[in-house]
Structure 1
Amino acid sequence: MTADSASINLTHHFLIAMPGLEDEAFAKSVVYVCEHSERGALGLVINKPGELSMKCLFEKVDLPLHRQDLMNAPVLQGGPVHTERGFVLHDAMWADVPVDVAVQDLAIEAAQEETVEAAQEAAALSAVSGKESVYASTMTIPGGLEMTTSKDVLEALSVGAGPQRVLISLGYSAWGEGQLESELAENSWLTVGADTAVIFDTPVERRYERAMQLLGLESWMLSGEVGHS
């Protein structure tokens, strides 16, 4: 894939770190890209576990966790930005709303919030006319996923409800305007369309290999000079 910033959109894709990428936060990482536009890109590293389990995380926010399937799942290191903040990647949980209400809510959010993250979330939500996440602060991602930063999704999980498939990270990854395209041109990443089974159904330690297999590659085939697929 070429790094033509005018033509590529890597939303709902994986970035797979090339061997030459030695940055501590991204070496041998797989990043799920939640949004990519002319303003930049935002994503979550999906294969770097941190020190906390989900059970421990919920204890830290004073919530029980009544989801046995999530108890021992690791909380991931999603990237070097806002590492004190939680980001929940999960299957979309939508509620039908009148289109005019959805548009009005987005306009209010855009007027009140000044952060880049809020602007990106509002833009992503606007693409889903007549649909609204059941959670308060959520980015809707093409491909059937959402990324939520509000505590309400944790509260739902704590009582045994919420989305079935969940990944929680502390921190996220971000690229400014043209930055990701430059890194692609420098041969830092391979790119491939995301497979949600790699995110939710593959053990953390196998996600790098599994993501590369989507391209028909194995890690031993790569060197710092290999081009993009």
Structure 2
Amino acid sequence: MPKQRKTSKSPEHPDSPWDSLDFSAAPDTPPRESLNLADHFLIAMPSMLDPVFGGTVVYLCEHNANGALGVIINKATDMTVDVLLNRIDLTLEIAPELSMLDRAPVLYGGPVQADRGFVLHAPRGDFSSTLPVTEEISLTTSKDILAAVALGSGPQRLLVSLGCAGWGAGQLEDEITRNGWLTVRADPAVLFDLPLEQRFVAAIKLLGIDPMMLSGEAGHA
């Protein structure tokens, strides 16, 4: 089972999925020689028969000797962002024609903490519970980011999900060794700009592989 991070309840909305995760409780940075696939895509291989992860692309936000944390980026829920905002008592203040958020799907980010919200976004911004991934991309779990989005002052590029994907120490490495995943450095255009149904093929093409030729053999770049 993946390790759960410490969370804190929001006193204003005790049942809100936007309760903050305490990223400050994360373990210290591992030794330099440890494998680090943060800011990489995990692309499910044909051998990945898991009903949750089959056919998915996962963006890895954190990976070290203690485990890994990521978000599935090509699996939608039946909820749109405007519905989610309404459920947490926020209203999109900007004109609909200035934003696609009212029609954007909320993604299924993974089976870990599936009742909590996660936002991948660029630029990083300054929010109360944020895990920096790169100089431009962060993962935020506090509600203040959606309050900013509703007011039109939030990040220009973002992906909203419920739940995340997590692996314990050595678990992801074992799955890669067993031909479960291809790995490749992430492309922000695939992460934020492409329609969900195009992301799997686009991620594979980052490896220079014809998706029609994909087999069960492992590999990474």
Bigger relative contact order, structure 1 or 2 (CA pairs below 8 A, ≥6 apart) = 1
Task: Decide which of 30, 39, 43 is 2:70's aligned counterpart.
Answer: 43
**Distance (Å, rounded) in 2 between the aligned partners of 1:137 and 1:7:** 26
| Structure 2 counterpart of 1:141, one-letter code | V
Contact 1:92 1:140 in 2 (8 A): no
Instruction: State the secondary structure of the residue aligned to 2:106.
Output: strand
More helix per residue: 1 or 2? 1
Instruction: State the secondary structure of the residue aligned to 1:71.
Output: helix
Moved over 4 A (4+): none
- Alignment-derived partner of residue 103 in structure 1: none
Task: Decide which of 143, 150, 157 is 1:158's aligned counterpart.
Answer: 150
**Distance (Å, rounded) in 1 between the aligned partners of 2:164 and 2:124:** 21
- Alignment-derived partner of residue 71 in structure 1: 102
| Structure 2 counterpart of 1:14, one-letter code | F
CA RMSD of the aligned region, Å? 1.4
**Distance (Å, rounded) in 2 between the aligned partners of 1:92 and 1:139:** 13
Query: Cα distance, 1:143 vs. partner?
Result: 4.6
Query: Cα distance, 1:219 vs. partner?
Result: 2.3
- How high is the TM-score relative to the length of structure 1? 0.78
- How high is the TM-score relative to the length of structure 2? 0.80
Q: 1:153 to 1:220 in 2, by over 3 A?
A: same
Task: Give the % identical residues.
Answer: 49
- Alignment-derived partner of residue 210 in structure 1: 202
Task: Decide which of 23, 26, 43 is 1:16's aligned counterpart.
Answer: 43
Contact 1:29 1:47 in 2 (8 A): yes
For residues 108-165 of structure 1, give each alpha carbon's deviation from its aligned partner in whole angstroms, at most 9, with x where no partner exists: xxxxxxxxxxxxxxxxxxxxxxxxxx10000011252011100100100111111000
**Distance (Å, rounded) in 2 between the aligned partners of 1:137 and 1:44:** 16
Instruction: State the secondary structure of the residue aligned to 1:154.
Output: helix
Instruction: State the secondary structure of the residue aligned to 1:160.
Output: coil
- In the alignment, structure 1 segments of 5+ residues that lack a partner are 1-5, 95-133
Contact 2:176 2:218 in 1 (8 A): no
- In the alignment, structure 2 segments of 5+ residues that lack a partner are 1-32
Count of aligned residue pairs for this structure pair? 185
